[in-house]
């Protein structure tokens, strides 16, 4: 790599970690509930995945995203 290479961060932030963690947990729970044939909880898990995305957007706007005011530099 050249010395002028700028690392974009690749999502190494609180917002990225929280978003991915919530969505992975939602998919894992959704898979379990699908296997157990509990349709209401499968849909609740889908809703949780959507909330994970909303949480990530909120955290990024709050300054916890890559290059944010509250993230590591």
Mean pLDDT of the chain: 89
Task: Note the pLDDT tens digit of each residue in 49-69.
Answer: 999 999 999 999 999 988 888
Q: What is the DSSP letter of 70?
A: T
Beta strands of 1-73 (E only): which ranges? Answer: none
Q: In this model, does residue 70 exceed pLDDT 70?
A: yes
Domain boundaries, given as residue ranges, for the chain? 14-63
Residues sharing a CB contact under 8 Å with residue 23, sequence separation 6 or more, in sequence order: 49, 52, 53
How do residues 13-28 score in pLDDT, each as one tens digit?
899 999 999 999 999 9
SS3 for 28? helix
């Amino acid at each position: 790599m050249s010395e002028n290479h700028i690392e974009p961060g690749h999502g190494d932030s609180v917002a990225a970690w929280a978003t991915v963690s919530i969505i992975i947990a939602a998919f894992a729970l959704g898979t379990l509930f699908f296997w157990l044939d509990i349709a209401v909880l499968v849909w609740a898990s889908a809703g949780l995945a959507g909330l994970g995305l909303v949480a990530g957007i909120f955290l990024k706007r709050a300054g916890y995203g890559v290059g944010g005011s509250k993230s590591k530099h």
